[in-house]
């Protein structure tokens, strides 16, 4: 019998009625002869509500306790889904991360799954049970409750599927992966397939749906992942290894990110040790910077621009202020109002000139670009938000997205 | 250093502000040189809300899953209290029943604490931590989450105090144990002390405050228990072994129960095997019956009356209906409208005539009594609810309650 791991996100289990609906669907798949393992997130806005209570008490709540607090949300969902399944004649049983043997490592609120002890799951599947597992949580080697960070339930599902050599199905409130976010470009096409590499670049470039960590894990263990609408009645997108079934187009998708800001450092001495010191100071505060560009030196000084999440702008500014005293020529400017477009496609490997085609398109449409960075299968452009719609339409038409 | 186990009930941790207030009080006691172990219930009506969701899904939710569901409520409270303590400079850490080693036995939703592995607590106390423990929950030998039934957090606190040879303080929304429920008799006095035996009889006779199981446990391990208001600023009542410091009065308290019903069985053959069969049928459905009285036999038939919780009336009736076919003379009547008064006092042991004094009082006030039962330190009377206030006042004045 095939084992199927399904994951239902927060909106999918947001109400009693939705939980009952999921129970019906899970039982149907079970009746078709599949072994079912179901991973659930917390209901609706539960996690946000719990976190808000913690921050109402303390501006800096203890992360160990935050993990304990947040872990309860998934436990409510899992027991309710189990009750719903038992109510319609299924034989279901729910397990916390601790109970099912999800071992984690790393710091609280952003732990990683170190291993899963699959014995308990296999025992219960052999008793013909439907297994419900709390997503997003595990315990570390000290039996402390830990959580896996945003999108952690996806990671739980992929890790279980990898361990059980099972199919993995992620049910969410979007019906698949699109070439462009349909809210920004309504003519976008839904992809039947996307490769792990492309999905990773899309995810890290601002296309939500799934978090990078779960895709990395799927790629590492070669677990095909179906992403589909939680009603289950329309086809979704399958994330899998690149193969011949995929379209051989230059660009698979266009990701748009409006959550980043840009900082430009002016008058930085053209000395690698100074530049390194600045970036190390920022990295030491765990601020992730993304695109970096540097001008040619003039009078032994360079200008450097980089992007970072808007939420980190304040902390980064405090660090840069400390360099003003040390470096007489140094100043910086920050702009919150930017739009980052990333074109992603494995086809770039084999088709030359994609970057040039995009540049030409932007020039024809008189859209100035402030930074460009390229990787093997992705090119990112920072433009003005006012040009965003025009740029999306031009690129989508040119590359048939 | 003395170890103090404190328990805070649902209303005591009902809001963020209340949790912050408790954190201040706990830290103060810690600063005075005490080792603090805090047991918490779920916030406010959380447990009711969780149970309602389960029953919205299923008329008969799986008890194992109900336990998982309900156990989350205490975990939310404990992490928030720990965050509140850490926020004011304390060093607090919270533990689930599983983490702190609370081992249970018996069936789901009404398990009993089998043992507590105190090593983890002692380790953490030696690190000078304030320990927060989820009340009401534990795990059985299969690592299944179990709960202890209504009032279970009191039991957790008393069991911890017994294991740690600690003081036990139960903070709640009443300010102590009264001779009579002050809502029914505003002149009632608060008791400074009450013996375990008397408290047990009061609790089993309808005086809320604490559940019988926790008092039995306190008595078994001779743990004195302070019951006090959750603001902690007025003296409460101490439940402890009977000794000379207690008042030597005939009656310590008067418990009033309006949650019972009475069933009268008519025309029952005066044959012990028939009577036993009827009561065994009722007992087999786990319906607890309380006061029983039987008339003298007339024509080899007897009438039998007994009381039972109103909530069990329907189930008991279904069982009794099944005897109508077997016993041609048999019929029964049920009355939901009764009032049960129980006078409780260790003094009854040494002072004769208490029952007679109460009977005289009721007769003088023309209050008919339908059933009377006596135990060593308690006498219960079933009267009409219309006579309740008059009876309470007469008894309270006579015995100076």
Give me the CATH number covering residue A138: 3.40.1160.10
d(CA A53, CA B230): 21
> Is A396 within a domain?
no
pLDDT digits (tens, 9 = 90+) for B276-300: 889 888 888 878 888 888 888 888 8
Give the span between the Cα atoms of A356 and A328, in whole angstroms. Answer: 39
ipTM of the complex: 0.81
> Residue A137: inside a domain, yes or no?
yes
**pLDDT at A141 > cutoff 90:** yes
> Which of A57, A75, A84 shows the shortest C-beta gap to B58?
A84
* Among candidates A66, A72, A79 on the partner chain, residue whose Cβ is nearest the Cβ of B65: A79
DSSP assignment of B272-321, as one string? HHHHHHHHHHHHTTTPPP--EEEPPPBTTEEEEEEEEEGGGHHHHHHHHH
Other C-beta atoms lying within 10 Å of the C-beta of residue A289: 16
With b meaning 16 or more CB within 10 Å and e meaning fewer, what string describes A90-127? bebbbbbbbbbbbbbeeebbbbbbeebeeeebeebbee
Specify the 3-state DSSP secondary structure of B79.
helix
Residue A298 is classified by DSSP as B
Phi, then psi, of A187 in degrees rounded to 5: -85, 5
In a domain, B221, yes or no: no
**Cβ pair A20:B57 closer than 8 A:** yes
Q: What is the largest CA-CA distance in chain B?
A: 78
Contact B235, B182 (CB under 8 A): no
> Residues near A76 by Cβ (< 8 Å), separated by ≥ 6?
A42, A43, A46, B50, B53, B69, B72
- Name the residue facing B65 among A56, A83, A144 (closest C-beta): A83
Q: Do B58 and A98 touch (CB under 8 A)?
A: no
Q: CA of B255, closest CA in chain A: separation in Å? A: 38
Instruction: Give chain B positions within 8 Å (CB) of A147.
Output: none
Q: Does B79 touch chain A (CB under 8 A)?
A: yes
Note the pLDDT of residue B350. 66
Mean pLDDT of A213-232: 91
A46 touches chain B (CB under 8 A): no
Q: What is the mean pLDDT of residues B96-105?
A: 96
Task: Report the chain B residue with the minimal C-alpha distance to residue A70.
Answer: B76
Q: What's the average model confidence in pLDDT over B11-40?
A: 96
Using a CB-CB cut-off of 8 Å, the residues of chain A touching B94 are: 65, 68
CB nearest B65 (choices: A66, A94, A145) = A94
| Residue of B78, B84, B94 lying closest to A58 (CB–CB) | B84
Q: Do B57 and A99 touch (CB under 8 A)?
A: no
pLDDT of A208:
67
Residue A150 lies in a domain: yes
Do the Cβ atoms of B64 and A93 come within 8 Å? yes
Average pLDDT of the segment spanning A363-384: 87
* Residues of chain A neighbouring B75 (CB-CB closer than 8 A): 68-69, 71-72, 75
Give a three-class secondary structure readout of A339-381: EEEEEECHHHHCCCCHHHHHHHHHHHCCCCCCEEEEECCEEEE
Distance from CA of A75 to the nearest CA of B (A): 7
Contacts of B86 in chain A (CB under 8 A): 58, 61-62, 65
pLDDT digits (tens, 9 = 90+) for B217-238: 999 999 999 999 988 778 999 9
Q: Which residues of B touch A93 (CB under 8 A)?
A: 64-65
> To the nearest whole percent, how much of chain A has pLDDT over 70?
97
- Strand (E) positions, B173-240? 193-195, 225-229, 237-240
Residue A145: what pLDDT? Answer: 97
Query: pLDDT class for A124, splitting at 50, 70, 90?
Result: very high
> With contacts defined as CB-CB under 8 Å, which chain B residues touch A56?
16
Q: Inform me whether the pLDDT recorded for B205 exceeds 80.
A: no
The per-residue pLDDT for range B38-84, each reduced to its tens digit, is 999 999 999 999 999 999 999 999 999 999 999 999 999 999 999 99
| Rounded average pLDDT over B240-253 | 75
Choose among B59, B76, B84: nearest Cβ to A50. Answer: B76
B136 or B361, which is more confident?
B136
pLDDT bracket for residue B374 (50, 70, 90): confident
Averaged pLDDT for residues A109-116? 93
Helix (H) or strand (E) holding A193: strand A193-195
Cβ neighbours for B34, distance < 8 A, ≥ 6 positions apart: B1, B2, B3, B4
Total H helices, total E strands in chain A:
12, 20
Q: Are B82 and B92 in contact (CB under 8 A)?
A: yes
- Whether residue B201 lies inside any domain: the answer is no
pLDDT per residue over A343-371, tens digit each?
998 877 666 678 788 888 888 999 988 88
Average pLDDT along chain A:
90
Contacts of A87 in chain B (CB under 8 A): 57-61
The answer to whether B68 faces chain A, any CB pair under 8 Å, is: yes
Mean pLDDT over each residue of chain B, to the nearest integer: 90
Amino acid B211: pLDDT: 81
Residue B149, domain extent: 3-173
Taking 70 as the threshold, does the pLDDT of residue B369 lie above it? yes
What pLDDT is recorded for position B115? 94
Nearest CA in chain A to B17: A57
C-alpha B258/C-alpha B383 separation (Å) is: 10
Asked whether the predicted pLDDT for residue B123 surpasses 80, the reply is yes
Q: Which residues of A touch B68 (CB under 8 A)?
A: 75, 78-79, 82, 94, 96
Q: Do A57 and B80 touch (CB under 8 A)?
A: yes
Number of domains present in the structure of chain A? 1
Mean pLDDT highest for which of A30-39, A238-247, A283-292, B324-333? A30-39
pLDDT of B246 above 70: no
Whose structure tokens read 């740690």?
A: B164
* Three-class secondary structure of residue A254 per DSSP: strand
Spatial distance between the Cα atoms of B344 and B293, rounded to a whole number of angstroms: 20
**A49 in any annotated domain:** yes
Q: What is the pLDDT of residues A264-279, one digit of tens each?
A: 999 999 888 888 889 8
- Flag whether B257 is in a domain: no
Least confident of A31-35, B19-23, B346-350: B346-350
Which ranges constitute the DSSP H helices of A228-306?
272-283
C-alpha dihedral, B263 to B289 to B140 to B155, nearest 10°: 110
Rounded-to-integer distance, Cα A292 and Cα A274, Å: 16
Query: Over 90: is that where the pLDDT of B31 sits?
Result: yes
Query: Tell me, what's the pLDDT at A375?
Result: 78
A54 vs B contacts (CB less than 8 Å): 79-80, 83
Q: In this complex, do B79 and A93 lie within 8 Å of one another by their Cβ atoms?
A: no
Q: Note whether residue B247 is domain-resident.
A: no
Q: Angle at CA B117, nearest 5°, toward B111 and B121?
A: 115
């Amino acid at each position: 019998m095939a084992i199927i791991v399904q994951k239902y996100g927060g909106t999918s289990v947001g109400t009693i009625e939705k939980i009952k609906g999921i129970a019906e669907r899970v039982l149907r798949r079970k009746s078709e002869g599949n072994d079912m393992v179901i991973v659930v997130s917390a209901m609706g806005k539960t996690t946000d509500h719990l976190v808000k209570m913690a921050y109402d008490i303390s501006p800096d709540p203890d992360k160990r306790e935050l993990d304990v607090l947040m872990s309860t949300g998934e436990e409510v969902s899992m027991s309710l889904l189990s009750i719903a399944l038992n109510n319609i004649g299924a034989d279901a049983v729910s397990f916390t991360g601790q109970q099912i043997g999800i071992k984690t490592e790393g710091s609280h609120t952003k732990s990683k799954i170190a291993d899963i002890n699959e014995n308990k799951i296999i025992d219960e599947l052999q008793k013909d049970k439907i297994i419900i597992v709390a997503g997003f949580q595990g315990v570390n080697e000290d039996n402390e409750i830990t959580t896996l960070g945003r999108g952690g339930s996806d990671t739980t599902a992929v890790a279980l599927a990898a361990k059980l050599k099972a199919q993995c199905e992620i049910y969410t409130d979007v019906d698949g992966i699109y070439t462009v976010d349909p809210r920004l470009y309504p003519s976008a096409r839904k992809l039947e397939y996307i490769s792990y590499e492309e999905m990773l670049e899309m995810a890290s470039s601002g296309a939500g749906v799934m978090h990078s960590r779960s895709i990395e894990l799927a790629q590492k263990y070669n677990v095909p992942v179906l992403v589909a609408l939680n009603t289950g009645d329309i086809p979704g997108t399958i994330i899998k290894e690149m193969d011949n079934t995929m379209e051989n187009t230059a660009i698979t998708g266009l990701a748009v990110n409006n959550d980043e800001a840009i900082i430009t450092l002016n008058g930085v001495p053209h000395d690698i040790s100074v530049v390194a010191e600045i970036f190390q100071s920022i990295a030491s505060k765990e601020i992730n910077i993304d695109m970096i560009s540097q001008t040619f030196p003039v009078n032994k000084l360079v200008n450097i621009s980089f992007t970072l999440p808007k939420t980190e702008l304040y902390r980064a500014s405090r660090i840069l202020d400390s360099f003003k005293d040390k470096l007489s020529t140094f100043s910086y400017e920050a702009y919150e109002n930017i739009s980052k477009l990333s074109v992603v496609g494995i086809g770039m490997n084999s088709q030359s000139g994609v970057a040039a085609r995009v540049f030409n398109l932007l020039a024809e449409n008189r859209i100035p670009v402030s930074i460009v960075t390229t990787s093997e299968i992705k090119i990112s452009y920072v433009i003005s938000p006012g040009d965003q719609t025009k740029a999306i339409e031009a690129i989508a038409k040119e590359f048939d997205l």
